[in-house]
A and B are shown apart, each in its own frame.
Chain A
């Protein structure tokens, strides 16, 4: 019985990792850019929500709704002012710039909010749970997983049912031809990063309400997100969700065997997938 509970908890935890990963997957799918500051941007969004909650006395969900357009703006500006200038055939400049940004963000957050660990208060939601047969599920983990599915569906719809999605796919396939058709790759990239930052805000909402966070935890979130993307297969949104679930289950099962093995078990699962299926489980489902 304990194992069923462990696996269900792992699946729900996987929803959180999928939320971390979906923004990364989106940006990579469109512009082949890996943002090494992705985890730190999640932490930035979590602090933004925390500030809105404490300053305006809002609930966490309202605060996230307010934070989302701000994060969109940050993502848009980041792409326009910095990342567009370093995109190109050479992968070194974007990597080094986002790595610099990661270090910059971590330390700016440390300067602004100190190194103390914080949590976004979510009131009664924090402790509520639902009984489902033999297992009891926290409401917050359930909401996280439901959000991950919703975000995946929404991105899928955006990609295949909207004009913007068509522009995304066209730019991803061939920026030169797309620009002949009146699509401006720079503007498309800026919108894509903005949307990725909205996903980041949703991820931050659950990161910050479910557990403590501090300015230094970004890189570890980046690693989980990255593992989920690779396990799922580059560019596949549903694959990314599956990848998150695999990491989540591996971690809870590992922790059940020995609490010190939680993180290690997630990494080992990733390496095993890389060994058996180097291109991930569902490579290139789209694009």
Chain B
């Protein structure tokens, strides 16, 4: 049989419909500020930034097998570089986002150097120690307020790229214009993150990463360099997490070491989002962030009960359904919105054959 009559594909009917729906949703999301209230924009900002953090943590833990409990190091360091850049060197905050990403990337190099000496669970606490070291060091940085923190200077806030244009285009005050700008930036970051992760997982390196996740020895035996993959994933996740962190505190306008390096806000919540939604899939964190937001809205008045329920839910998912909510949905229906499974397909479409990559 001629080789040319076969092709390798990842596409499914559901994924094509999903792509179409995603495109429609994206257009609606871009246009959202023209008709939505300010509080809705702020809620959407929260959902999008948490989703971005969750996607990067999922890339680390779900695909790379690197369970980090120290991602708050990159959130906080990125955010502090944005504030430091604006205060000390007058860097425009929008440009500061890129600075934040690069700074987090630079921080990730020594972090990985230390943390990769530890394995498994000890790696997790090792990253946490590094995050604590960064928090305590930043608290000594007097120019950005030391232990008490600081606010973004008024000039940097009001003269930020794009704010004045939004003010005149939407006829809103500058604080509202800032919310719209940060919302759009969060939307762009989320789309770039999901698109980027999806693209990465479908490349040769992504296949190598999935192979490592499924079986380290087998992957190594066919020539996958596991150390190199760990470094790539860790650095990429740090870069994205740094940008997301900077964006969160740009919208917030105020920063302090305790809020910027909070293990609950930037790691515990993110872990619960990924675990409840479904670890090791792109759809999981999307489902997870919606559940998380709904729970937070419903239980906002109950303080610590909210966190107890979240913790208990996380434990229950791990015990009874480790694939999370998306795992249940996709097992029942076979639905995959972001398929990365490669299938060998005959060009005339008569015969289909699944070739590789079992689902976890």
Which A positions have Cβ atoms within 8 angstroms of B? 32-34, 36, 82, 85-86, 91-97, 99-104, 106-108, 110-111, 219, 222-223, 226-227, 230, 234, 260, 263-264, 267-268, 270-271, 274-275, 278
Contact = CB atoms under 8 A, between A and B. Distances in A.
B318 A34 contact: no
B129 A227 contact: yes
Contacts of B67: 91-92, 95-96
Contacts of A275: 114
Contact of B125 (A34, A92, A104, A110): A34
A111 B304 contact: yes
24 contacts: A34-B121, A34-B122, A85-B319, A92-B65, A92-B279, A94-B121, A96-B318, A97-B318, A97-B319, A100-B311, A100-B315, A104-B307, A104-B308, A104-B311, A107-B305, A107-B311, A110-B304, A219-B128, A222-B125, A223-B132, A230-B118, A263-B132, A275-B114, A278-B117
B268 A103 contact: yes
B314 A111 contact: no
B304 A274 contact: no
Contacts of B272: 100
B75 interface: no
A32 to B, nearest CB: 8
B250 interface: no
Contact of B133 (A97, A101, A264): A264
Interface string B310-334: 1110110011001000000000000
A101 B311 contact: yes
A99 B212 CA distance: 24
B275 interface: yes
Contacts, number: 115
Contacts of A96: 67, 271, 275, 314-315, 318
Interface core residue of B126, B264, B307, B311 (most chain A CB under 10 Å): B311
Q: Considering residues A33, A36, A93, A96, which has the most beta carbons from chain B within 10 angstroms of its beta carbon?
A: A96
Nearest to A85: B319
B264 A103 contact: yes
A274 to B, nearest CB: 6
Contacts of B91: none
Contacts of B318: 86, 93, 96-97, 100
A215 to B, nearest CB: 9
Chain A contact surface mostly: helix
Given A95-B67, A226-B122, A100 B312 contact: yes
A183 B175 CA distance: 67
Chain B interface secondary structure, helix, strand, loop or mixed?
A: helix
A32 B61 CA distance: 19
B308 A271 contact: no
Given A100-B314, A107-B307, A107-B311, A93 B322 contact: yes
Contact of B319 (A86, A219, A260, A267): A86
A103 B124 contact: no
A104 B305 CA distance: 9
B168 interface: no
Nearest to A222: B125
A222 B279 CA distance: 25
B162 interface: no
Contacts of A32: 120
B114 A274 contact: yes
B137 A264 contact: yes
Nearest to B119: A91
Contacts of B125: 34, 36, 222-223, 226
A286 to B, nearest CB: 18
A96 B114 CA distance: 22
Contacts of B114: 271, 274-275
B10 interface: no
Interface string B84-103: 00000000000000000000
Q: Which of A91, A100, A230, A271 has the most CB of B within 10 A?
A: A100
B248 to A, nearest CB: 20
Q: Which 6 pairs from chain A and chain B are nearest by CB? A: A34-B121, A104-B311, A107-B304, A100-B314, A103-B311, A100-B315
B308 A111 contact: yes
Contact of B271 (A99, A110, A223): A99
A250 B258 CA distance: 23
Nearest to A258: B140
Find the residue from A33, A103, A230, A267 having the highest chain B CB count within 10 A. Answer: A103
Interface string B237-271: 00000000000000000000000000110001001
A246 B314 CA distance: 36
A264 B121 contact: no
A60 B114 CA distance: 41
A95 B129 contact: no
Contacts of A223: 125, 128-129, 132
B60 to A, nearest CB: 11
Given A96-B275, A103-B264, A103-B268, A82 B136 contact: no
Interface in B42-88: 61, 65, 67, 69
B121 A82 contact: no
B133 A99 contact: no
